[in-house]
């Protein structure tokens, strides 16, 4: 059988959505996948490995972001596929380490939904397959007891928290993923984008957060954390989820990907699970989009790999994303691919996305801004710096980093 013929079979089978979970034909070559380590991705890799033909290997690790640039710079690259998110694709784009997928999509990608295609300057650089976002979880029973409606805005959240506290139901009714560093910076990004403002001057790398929206964001953040357990600066997602499952909080902002575990209720009680409501992230007062950022995960194909391996990799990844496979793994993620049956756990992410939440910015220097935010927000929350000083410090820290990295002069 010639290679062209085999790939045609594969594509047509995929197109009708009937690719048997086992042994689809994916051409020949070596497929090696680098990505994060979580169940949804493991399911995709299992599907990719079920391909007939290529030799599929995978390295799924939480350190993937620290490895990917070096691994794809090597020629030939160590991995033919890098699974990335909208934050981690940026270094690969900056260095030109991933290849445009237009040809492969045209030839084999009939089963892909157009919204899955991530286009940079018109060229398809990645195929997204799942989405995630931080959104609001609240306890209907607690809110009812406190006599407040489901919050819509951040002001509502604060009012509800005050009602819960003043009635003595809970001392610290709110939890957000506010651990100093990346997590806390992410909360700032969510709220700041909820104001509809940009982080940078248009078309340049100059920072633009030292404004009224920046101050308002800081103040909201401080107000939210004042209703949080005093340990809030050490809270990662694990701690926030644990607080929820112990019934310690009434309202929280947490990643949608954690929803399935919370609704499964393995570590909590039926009362907590039954009253848990997943909702869109709250709006900033008077704004039109929820204060959160949308994230996608998707796959890219290395530039420094042979065309044969690239094609085999593309086909193998598609084999991991067949409608049957997605349908079978619907509970694991909010899939963007065909075949996905939304589950209750996806309600918050879907609601946030439908309400028009912003995607996480893809500017090449956004990572530097995120780091600068993470380093300097804690001082403000602890009261050792004013809001104005904090914003100045963040801009100064960012500018130093951006100068060393060549984005500013």
Which of 49, 59, 226, 287 binds another protein (CB under 8 A)? It is 59
**Nearer of residues 55 and 400 to another protein, judged by Cβ:** 400
Which of 210, 226, 287, 371 binds another protein (CB under 8 A)? It is 371
Residue 147: DSSP 8-state: T
Identify whether the C-beta of residue 6 lies closer than 8 Å to the C-beta of residue 55: no
Identify whether the C-beta of residue 164 lies closer than 8 Å to the C-beta of residue 146: yes
Task: Count other C-beta atoms under 10 Å from residue 209's C-beta.
Answer: 22
Whole-number minimum distance, CB 5 to another protein, in Å?
33
Which of 1, 4, 121, 270 binds another protein (CB under 8 A)? It is 121
Nearest residue to 3 via CA among 306, 312, 321: 312
Does 96 contact another protein by CB under 8 A?
yes
Locate all alpha helices (DSSP H) within 116-258, ordered by sequence. Answer: 140-146, 154-166, 182-194, 212-226, 237-245
Give the Å distances, CA to CA, from 392 to 191, 212, 378, 401.
18, 13, 14, 14
Stretch that binds another protein, among 47-55, 101-109, 161-169, 364-372 (CB under 8 A): 364-372
Stretch that binds another protein, among 18-26, 102-110, 139-147, 391-399 (CB under 8 A): 391-399
133-172 binders of another protein (CB under 8 A): none
260-319 binders of another protein (CB under 8 A): 261, 266-268, 294-296
Which of 56, 217, 370, 391 binds another protein (CB under 8 A)? It is 370
Give the Å distances, CA to CA, from 221 to 184, 215, 284.
9, 10, 12
Give me the 64-83 binding string for another protein, x by CB under 8 A, dash otherwise. -xxx-xxx-xxx-xx-----
Quote the tokens at residue 402. Answer: 């951006």
**Nearer of residues 7 and 186 to another protein, judged by Cβ:** 186
End-to-end CA distance of the chain: 58
Stretch that binds another protein, among 5-13, 47-55, 121-129, 308-316 (CB under 8 A): 121-129
Does 220 contact another protein by CB under 8 A?
no
Give me the 165-194 binding string for another protein, x by CB under 8 A, dash otherwise. ------------x-xxxxx-----------
Nearest residue to 108 via CA among 310, 315, 324, 325: 315
Identify whether the C-beta of residue 235 lies closer than 8 Å to the C-beta of residue 183: yes
What three-state secondary structure class fits 150? coil
Report whether the peptide linkage leading into residue 76 is cis, meaning its omega lies within 30 degrees of zero: yes
Quote the tokens at residue 166. Answer: 């003043």
Stretch that binds another protein, among 141-149, 187-195, 338-346, 397-405 (CB under 8 A): 397-405
Nearest residue to 129 via CA among 19, 56, 192, 47: 47
Whole-number minimum distance, CB 64 to another protein, in Å?
10
Whole-number minimum distance, CB 382 to another protein, in Å?
7
Stretch that binds another protein, among 7-15, 247-255, 280-288, 309-317 (CB under 8 A): 247-255
191-210 binders of another protein (CB under 8 A): 200, 202-205
**Nearer of residues 24 and 340 to another protein, judged by Cβ:** 340
Backbone phi, psi, residue 256, to 5°: -60, -30
Give me the 342-361 binding string for another protein, x by CB under 8 A, dash otherwise. -----------x---xxx-x
Quote the tokens at residue 47. Answer: 């599907």
Stretch that binds another protein, among 52-60, 104-112, 314-322, 338-346 (CB under 8 A): 52-60
């Amino acid at each position: 059988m010639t290679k062209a013929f085999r790939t045609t079979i594969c594509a047509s089978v995929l197109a009708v959505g009937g690719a048997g979970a086992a042994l689809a034909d994916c051409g020949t070559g070596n497929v090696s996948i680098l990505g994060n380590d979580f169940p949804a991705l493991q399911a995709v890799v299992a599907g990719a490995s079920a391909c007939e033909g290529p030799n599929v290997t995978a390295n799924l690790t939480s350190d993937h972001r620290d490895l990917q640039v070096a691994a794809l710079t090597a020629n030939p690259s160590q991995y033919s596929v890098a699974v990335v998110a909208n934050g981690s694709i940026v270094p690969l784009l900056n260095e030109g380490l991933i290849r445009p997928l237009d040809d492969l999509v045209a030839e084999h990608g009939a089963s892909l939904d157009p919204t899955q295609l991530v286009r940079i300057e018109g060229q398809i650089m990645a195929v997204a397959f799942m989405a995630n976002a931080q959104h609001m979880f609240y306890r209907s029973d607690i809110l009812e007891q406190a006599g407040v409606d489901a919050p819509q805005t951040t002001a509502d959240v604060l009012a509800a928290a005050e009602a819960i506290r003043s009635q003595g139901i809970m001392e610290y009714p709110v939890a957000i993923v506010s651990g100093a560093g990346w997590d806390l910076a992410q909360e700032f990004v969510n709220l700041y984008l909820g104001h509809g403002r940009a982080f940078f001057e248009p078309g340049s790398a100059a920072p633009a957060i030292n404004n009224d929206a920046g101050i308002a964001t800081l103040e909201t953040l401080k107000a939210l954390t004042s209703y949080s357990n005093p340990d809030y600066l050490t809270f990662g997602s694990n701690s926030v989820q644990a607080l929820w499952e112990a019934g310690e909080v009434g309202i929280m902002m947490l990643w949608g990907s954690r929803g399935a575990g919370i609704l499964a209720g393995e570590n909590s009680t039926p009362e907590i699970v039954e009253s848990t409501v997943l909702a869109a992230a709250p709006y900033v007062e008077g704004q039109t989009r929820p204060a959160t950022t949308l994230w996608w995960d998707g796959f890219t194909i290395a530039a420094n790999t042979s065309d044969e391996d690239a094609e085999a990799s593309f086909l193998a990844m598609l084999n991991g994303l067949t409608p049957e496979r997605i349908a079978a793994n619907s509970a694991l993620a909010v899939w963007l691919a065909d075949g996905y049956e939304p589950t209750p756990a996806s309600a918050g992410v879907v609601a946030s996305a439908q309400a028009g939440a912003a995607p996480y910015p893809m500017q090449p220097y956004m990572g530097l801004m995120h780091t600068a935010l993470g380093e300097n927000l804690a001082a403000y929350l602890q009261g050792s710096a004013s809001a104005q000083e904090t914003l100045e410090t963040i801009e100064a820290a960012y500018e130093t980093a951006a100068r060393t990295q060549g984005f500013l002069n």
